Amino acid sequence: MTDAPAWTEAAKALADKVTAAAPAWHDAVSKTPRHLLVPRWWRRIPNSPTQEWELVDLPEDSPERLHAAYTDETLVTRVGPTHADHATSGEYGKGDPTSSSTLPGLIVSMAHRLDAKPGHKVLDVGTGSGYSAGLFAHRFGDENVTSVDMDAYLVEAARARLAEFGRTPRIEAIDATGELPEAEYDRIMATVSVRPVPASWLRALRPGGRLVTTIAHTALLITADMGTDGIARGSVQPDPATFMETRQAADYPAKLNDVFVSARVREGEDVRPSHGAIPDLWQEWPLRWLYELDTPGVETRAATYPNDGRRVVWLLAADGSWARAEDGTTPMVHQGGPHRLWDDLERVRRKWEENNRFSLHTLRAELTAEGSSLLSPDGSWSFRV
């Protein structure tokens, strides 16, 4: 009798862990060799001042590689424009992640919410390593699964690696925010975040079909079902999920470092006491995401002054607007540029408080090809997404 490959025991242990609430996915997880889909990856160097990453390149059947591949963690495969497959030994990656193999538990959770049935046509947006496409193809058949990614190399690599263990879903290199490879799907799941929700997805979603996606620059996970009237209705789910946003180039636009130069210590054109305490936007994430929904695209930074422990928060916008808020005995706000970003944040906070600080998972979604919105529980607050 031939011994089972070393990876199968690790994959089964992963399946036992991540499919406890979704047992229908156990077989797919336990029989999908994730280590073959992610042969190399980047690991962040702790406390690196320039956000550097080191390359992880381990033998295929080494205990270290199997442990990493079958642990419920995200493996970053691309940093800036450089894929780990193309890095040389000793090379360091720099910048933000631009592709990854998402932690299996999140993929399973989203796939469970998708509630696909045998015979359904499934669109997997964001091929990445090919792991989610492999799970869908195992469960529903290769012929029923289409996966798309804008990166031609990712598509080529995922297609070849999936084929090594007999999985052959359709995989295409396209801009997923544009036209899709097929006209109709029963289920669409995106492991990239979007804003706006692409009209092409909503045109392609059949009545009764379901969409699971996230809103860019937030961790708001939306599930919505398409009605016969062309409106997909649903809600924000209780469990958050964060994904890289869709991109049309090799890397994301540069951060607003030039605006930060002005905002860092400059006296503002408008200086006043803060209306209330300076929020910690990394702890008060519902306020941070509501602000993003209301005033999209604002870059947020924070630091603590080493001499006295005071916190400072910066808001930066591409049009040159900025705000700096410093806590202390008298919290002060400095603002510059054409828009008053901190005024907008305080307006959002006041309105949220007037609405009893509702939970964000009570936001309702109404998505159409003509335009999509998230609505507060009483309908008095609407955000275009």
Instruction: Tell me the one-letter amino acid at 217.
Output: H
Instruction: Please report which residue ranges of the chain form alpha helices under DSSP H.
Output: 6-18, 26-30, 34-37, 63-69, 104-114, 131-140, 152-164, 199-204, 257-265, 285-294, 341-354
Distance of CA 55 to the CA centre of its chain: 22
SS (H, E, C) 135-146: HHHHHHCHHHEE
Residues with Cβ < 8 Å from 254, sequence gap 6 or more? Answer: none
Asked whether the bond before 196 is cis by omega within 30 degrees of 0, the reply is yes
> Which residues are catalytic, by number?
99
Helix then strand then coil, in percent of the chain rounded to 5, is 30, 30, 40
What sign has the CA pseudo-torsion 280, 286, 289, 295? negative
CA distances 242 to 4, 234, 289, 333, 361, Å, are: 35, 19, 12, 30, 15
Long-range contact pairs involving 197-206 (C-beta distance under 8 Å, separation at least 24): 197/367, 197/372, 197/385, 199/369, 199/370, 200/369, 201/123, 201/125, 202/226, 202/230, 202/232, 202/367, 202/368, 202/369, 202/372, 203/369, 204/123, 204/180, 205/232
**Cα(59)–Cα(347) distance, integer angstroms:** 54
